[in-house]
Amino acid sequence: MTITTAAPAGTPPVPGRGRRGRGIARMCLRRALFAVPLLVVVSLALFALAARSPFDPLAGYLGDRYTTVSTADRQRLADELGTGQSWWRQWASWAGHAMTGDLGYSRAYAQPVTTVMAERGPWTLLLSGVALACAVLAAATLGLWAARRAGGLVDRAVTVSATLVQSVPPFVLSLASVSVLAVGFRLFPVAGLTDPGADPSLRQVSRHLVLPAAVLALSLLPWLVLSLRQSLRAAAESDAVLGARARGIPESVVLRKHILPVALGPFTTVVGLRLPELLVGAAVVEEVFSWPGLAGSLVTAARELDFALLAALTVATTLLVLAGSLLADVAHALIDPRVGRDG
């Protein structure tokens, strides 16, 4: 991102509020239009792939009985459940139903897919939201701390530990934290949304949320810290900041008013781009901690070959990620007045 040399007396001309708002609205519209063909392509690809794979939907439906049900009965079941049709016809029927809000029936959970998503979605949102907020907060704190004295002890410590944590897959982090903190020292509950038998009250859920959210935030942290540090460095070396320092403005003011706003721009873009990683981490964390969320149910749907749920979740995650990156870009546009439209 180039930084125009600014005359000390004022900032370069900025699009006015109205023009900025319209620019953002146009960006949203363009993204929404882009999203529709993407979703169609993704769902078509999924059905086509499933058709060519050795995947047998009956295996998920019958579970252990797969080996005892006779071949003739299996054929009858396949006819009854409609699994023998061509893949594009299955896609067309699925897409048609999806338009009316019927996403099919989840065999793994014995509930309609929409119910599964409605029941489990909020818990994933809670976990991811809390983890993201904590990670951003921690990244901002650490990044600023490290940027104060570039190349100093804190800076190097932060970089080294961030690189270290980045190399550890989230499942290793989860296992380690469970065995040490939950089972070993009994500091936190081991798993689940609440204590068994208890209702999901604020106290219960917040107690059980601590460890999974901490692990998830920790798995996101390295990228955020490193990229914030990078953009802070780049901003600190810019002409505008050198000029401000030369004018004798105190360091803390420079940090707050000149470096941080400029660095926040690319930082929010990185946050938006890292949203897929958030979902990935959430899937693993939900799996290890038995958190009843939607990301973990993707793993279940994959293992049990629950195709209705798998298709719905694939489309939903694509949508969610697009929305997330759009949100990040909108936030970026609002924060940095020089960015008013799609780059």
Partner 1 sequence: MAESAPGRSRTLRCAIAVLAAVALYALLVPALAGTDPRLTDFAAADLPPSPAHWFGTDFSGRDLFERTAAGLRVSLLIATICAVAATVLGLAVGVTAGALGGRVDGLVMRVVDGVNALPHLLVGIVIVALYPGSVVAVIASIALTHWTQVARIARAEVRTARTAAYVEAARLAGASGPRVTLAHLVPAAAGQALVAVVLLLPHAIWHESTLSFLGLGLPPDRASLGTLLQDARAAVLTGSWWTLAFPALALVVTTLAVAGAGAALRDRITPPLPQRAVR
Partner 2 sequence: MRRLCAVLLTVSLAAGAAACTAEPGARPEGIVLADGDELGGYNPVAGHGEAGDSKIYDGLLRLAGGEGLPAFEPALAARLPEVSVDGLRWTVPLREGVTFTDGTALDAADVVATYRAVLDPASASPLATAYEMIAAVEATGPHEVRFTLRHPYAALPAKLLLGIAPSERLTGGLASESALNTEPVGTGPYRLASLRPDQAVLVANEHYWDGAPQVPRLTLVHVPDDNARAQRLLAGEVDGANLPPRLAAGFADRDGFEVSANASADWRGVSLPAGHPVTGDPAIRAALNRAVDRRAMVEHVLAGHGRPASTPLPAVYGPGYDIGAGFEHDPAAAERLLDAAGWRRGPSGVREKAGVAAEFTVMYFPEDTLRRDLAQAFATDADRIGVRVHVRAVDRAGVPGRLPVDAALLGGGDLPFDPDPQVYKTLHSRYADPAVGSAYDNASGYVDPAVDEALDAARRTLDPAERAALYRRVQEIYLEHPGYVMLVFLDHTYVGADTGYTGALPVLEPHSHGVNWGPWWNLREWTRE
| Interaction site with partner 1 (CB under 8 A) | 34, 38, 41-42, 46, 49-50, 53-55, 163-164, 166-172, 175, 178-179, 183, 230, 233-234, 273, 276-277, 279-280, 283-284, 287, 295, 298-299, 301-303, 305, 310, 314, 317-318, 321-322, 325
Distance between CA atoms of residues 100 and 21, nearest Å: 33
Among partner 2, partner 1, none, what does residue 20 contact (CB within 5–8 Å per kind)? none
Q: Does 267 bind partner 2 (CB under 8 A)?
A: no
With beta carbons less than 8 A apart as the criterion, state whether 188 and 181 touch: yes
Binding-site string for partner 2 from residue 72 to residue 111, where x marks contact by CB under 8 A and - marks none: -xx-xx--xx-----------------------x-xxxxx
Within its chain, how far is the Cα of 248 from the centroid? 42
DSSP 55: -
Q: Does 32 bind partner 2 (CB under 8 A)?
A: no
Nearest to 190 by CA among 283, 288, 279, 304: 288
CB atoms within 10 A of CB 276: 15
Among partner 1, partner 2, none, what does residue 105 contact (CB within 5–8 Å per kind)? partner 2
106 beta partners: 111
Q: Which is nearer to partner 1, 41 or 133 (CB)?
A: 41
Query: Smallest distance, Å, CB 276 to partner 1?
Result: 4
82: exposed, middle or buried (Cβ count in 10 Å: 0-12, 13-18, 19+)? exposed
With beta carbons less than 8 A apart as the criterion, state whether 297 and 116 touch: yes
Query: Smallest distance, Å, CB 93 to partner 1?
Result: 19
What H or E segment, with its residue span, contains residue 343? none
Query: Smallest distance, Å, CB 187 to partner 2?
Result: 7
105 beta partners: 112
Binder to partner 2 among 45, 86, 303, 342 (CB under 8 A)?
Answer: 303
Strands (E), the chain: 105-106, 111-112
Q: Record the tokens describing residue 203, joined without a space.
A: 């106290």
Among partner 1, partner 2, none, what does residue 230 contact (CB within 5–8 Å per kind)? partner 1
Query: Smallest distance, Å, CB 68 to partner 2?
Result: 6
Distance between CA atoms of residues 221 and 131, nearest Å: 10
Distances (CA, A) of 130 to 32, 123, 125, 137, 256: 27, 11, 8, 11, 25
Binder to partner 2 among 1, 62, 126, 327 (CB under 8 A)?
Answer: 62
Among partner 2, partner 1, none, what does residue 40 contact (CB within 5–8 Å per kind)? none
Q: Which is nearer to partner 2, 120 or 332 (CB)?
A: 120
Q: Which residues bind partner 2 (CB under 8 A)?
A: 54-56, 59, 61-71, 73-74, 76-77, 80-81, 105, 107-111, 116, 119-120, 134, 137, 140-141, 144, 178, 182-183, 186-198, 201, 203-204, 206-207, 209-210, 252, 255-256, 260, 287-290, 292, 300, 303
